[in-house]
Amino acid sequence: MAAIELNGVTKRFEDDGGVLDTLVPSSNTDAVTAVDDLSFSVEAGEVFGFLGPNGAGKSTTINMLLDFVRPTSGSIRVLGHDAQAESVAVRRRTGVLPEGYDVYDRLTGREHVEFAIESKEAGDDPDELLSRVGLDADAADRRAGGYSKGMKQRLALAMALAGSPDLLILDEPSSGLDPAGAREMRDIVREEADRGATVFFSSHVLGQVEAVCDRVGILREGELIAEDSIEGLRDRAEAEAILRLDVDGDADLDAVRAVEGVSSVESRDGKLVVGCTDDAKARVVVTIESDGATVADFETESASLEDIFLAHTEAEKQEVPA
């Protein structure tokens, strides 16, 4: 069974502060399409990494799963419930670590977790949850206003874990955590998946999701541009070469993009960087030179997973090299 299912979901924020109104004329130039005809599903028990650069629409999607934001069109089901009509049922069964969680300065860490346990009508031991995220009894007794950024993030995770939710939604969970903290967080994600929870994990850092996710979806400008297992992405990376070229003169980038086997073309550090299959390398050089430019030098290397991610997310930033 799918734990999360989106069908043709679009969210346009109008200039009225984001209030849903499908009757607002589409000619409204101040409107932002945060999510554009998005369809995908996450299976129960899966750890799904939701990747994308800043502003891609990740938080908007999460807010729609929880009915904090209403889609302009399309339908969303979460844990078998309609995300809008049955949002109370969804939230009861979901633990959320929101991006940039603001603590209540004057409440202690323990009081935060007690509050989360009560609101889930659960019977967890608050100290156990706190120690699971690495906050000891001393920290539990302190007011959260004095916590470091990483401690606040740990506290938010403890609150999300209250009541052993069927679905965990973690928005940039590693932000503010040191490497040891990020590792502990990943261990908890795996433990939660092992007990059968579904984990929906958003991040703009590929490395964070690579170690822990079964599958990833890459979002760019509100659209899902890739959906694959980490293994699938790795296979793709192995089949790809990265070509870094020093070009004298203006290369016709559209012509390079049109070369069979080319998946990305962009300018990085004054070089033209082309992602392509191995056999397309010669065609790329010929295409550049047939247009009057000269390839002064070039080097090739295998693509890393990071390259694949950047190729997908930065494709709009293509420019002619200086």
Among 4, 6, 42, 57, binds ligand ATP (CB under 6 A): 57
Distance (Å, whole) CA 162 – CA 122? 7
Distance (Å, whole) CA 131 – CA 307? 38
Residue 230: both structure tokens together: 């980490």
Among 5, 48, 49, 58, binds ligand ATP (CB under 6 A): 58
- Considering only 47-55, 87-95, 288-296, 310-318, which stretch makes contact with ligand ATP by CB under 6 A? 47-55
Distance (Å, whole) CA 106 – CA 162? 21
- Mark residues 88-107: x for contact with ligand ATP by CB under 6 A, - for none: -----------x--------
Considering CB under 6 A, how many residues would be counted as binding ligand ATP?
A: 14
Among 4, 6, 34, 185, binds ligand ATP (CB under 6 A): 34
Beta-carbon neighbour count of residue 305 at 10 Å? 17
Among 204, 215, 281, 312, binds ligand ATP (CB under 6 A): 204
Angle between helix 305-313 and 230-239 (nearest 10): 90
φ, ψ dihedrals at 78, nearest 5°: -130, 125
Rounded to a whole number of angstroms, the minimum distance from the CB of residue 50 to ligand ATP is 9
- Of 32 and 315, the one with the shorter C-beta distance to ligand ATP is 32
Among 2, 7, 18, 92, binds ligand ATP (CB under 6 A): 18
3-state secondary structure of 233: helix
Asked whether position 305 contacts ligand ATP by CB under 6 A, the answer is no
Place of tokens 């979460």: 78
- Could you report how far apart the first and last alpha carbons of the chain are, in Å? 51
CB-CB contact of 55 with 106 (8 Å): no
Asked whether position 24 contacts ligand ATP by CB under 6 A, the answer is no
* Maximum distance among all Cα pairs of the chain, rounded to whole angstroms: 73
φ, ψ dihedrals at 132, nearest 5°: -60, -35
Distance (Å, whole) CA 314 – CA 225? 11
Asked whether position 60 contacts ligand ATP by CB under 6 A, the answer is yes
Among 3, 47, 48, 52, binds ligand ATP (CB under 6 A): 52
Rounded to a whole number of angstroms, the minimum distance from the CB of residue 52 to ligand ATP is 5
- Of 60 and 287, the one with the shorter C-beta distance to ligand ATP is 60
Residue 311: both structure tokens together: 């190729």
Asked whether position 49 contacts ligand ATP by CB under 6 A, the answer is no
Asked whether position 32 contacts ligand ATP by CB under 6 A, the answer is yes
Binding site for ligand ATP (CB under 6 A): 13, 18, 32, 34, 52, 54-60, 99, 204
